[in-house]
Amino acid sequence: MKVVELFKQRGEMLSKQHAELMQKMPPAMREYWEELLTKTNHFHLFSWIRDFHQPAVNEDVNLPTDAETAALKRESALFRQEPMKLTSEAQTLYDELQQKIGEVIHVGDWLHVDQERINQFGHVTEDTQWIHTDPERASVESPFKTTIAHGFLTLALLPKLTDSVDPDDSLFPTAKMVVNVGMNQVRFPYPVKSGDRVRAKSILTKVTPVRKGLEVEREIRVEIEGVRRPGCIVVSVIQLHF
């Protein structure tokens, strides 16, 4: 099989999977891939391969025809992704958020984390370790002299702490739907003790156009009242659909 035919077959297979693959890629990988496709001249790659396979003196070789070269160009063009087209609402919000990169975009209200809330979370998750649910034992054996909230309880409170579930006080009111994509990083620098009050502070770190709207990354720090170290630091990724 000639090299050019092999590339044509590979191109046909990859082009069918390209759109689906781009949607499944993590944001960081997607950005890298798009930049690579933008900056790389595919024909340089093909030229390099052609030069690499140059025959020795007096060796016969089948060079690609004009038709085969044109086919290669068409296959290569499939990998050049068209610029993302945003709706007017998405474009307006994108332009607005671009001006706020690195800034605090939300500070929530204080929320009381009492023992009853901790017990309920332990019951639902079946994590009833004494450090969470036994105040008497914790007062004697725990270095904190009291029970502490589960780290995942603090994490689970983020929708409430960031007002993401309050329809009357939405941070992105023009979006039809907000979807939680996940967390790029999660840390629990200091435990939240029973009786503490916590709040979330959100810093906008990145905004990326996606097929259905915008993908927004925020660094969220869960502050504990009266404590210097945060109870939780996460990089949250959400999508805004318009």
Nearest to 199 by CA among 162, 145, 229: 162
- Residue ranges, the chain, pLDDT below 70: 1-64, 68-83
User: pTM score, two decimals?
Assistant: 0.66
Are residues 129 and 228 located together in one domain of the fold? Answer: yes
145-185 pLDDT, tens digit per residue, is 999 999 999 999 999 999 988 888 888 999 999 999 999 99
Same domain, 108 and 73: no
Same domain, residue pair 61 and 146: no
Range of the domain at 27: 3-77
pLDDT of residue 46: 44
- The CATH number assigned to the domain holding 134 equals 3.10.129.10
DSSP, collapsed to helix, strand or coil, labels residue 165 as coil
pLDDT at 170: 86
CA distance readout (Å), 51 to 3, 55, 71, 119, 221:
12, 9, 19, 70, 54
Sign of CA dihedral 242, 217, 238, 222: negative
Same domain, 195 and 228: yes
- How many domains are there within the chain? 2
Judge if 14 and 126 occupy the same domain.
no
Nearest to 184 by CA among 31, 35, 27, 24: 27
Tell me whether residue 82 is in a domain. Answer: no
- Going by C-alpha positions, the residue among 122, 108, 175, 116 that lies closest to residue 153 is 122
What confidence score (pLDDT) does residue 189 get?
A: 98
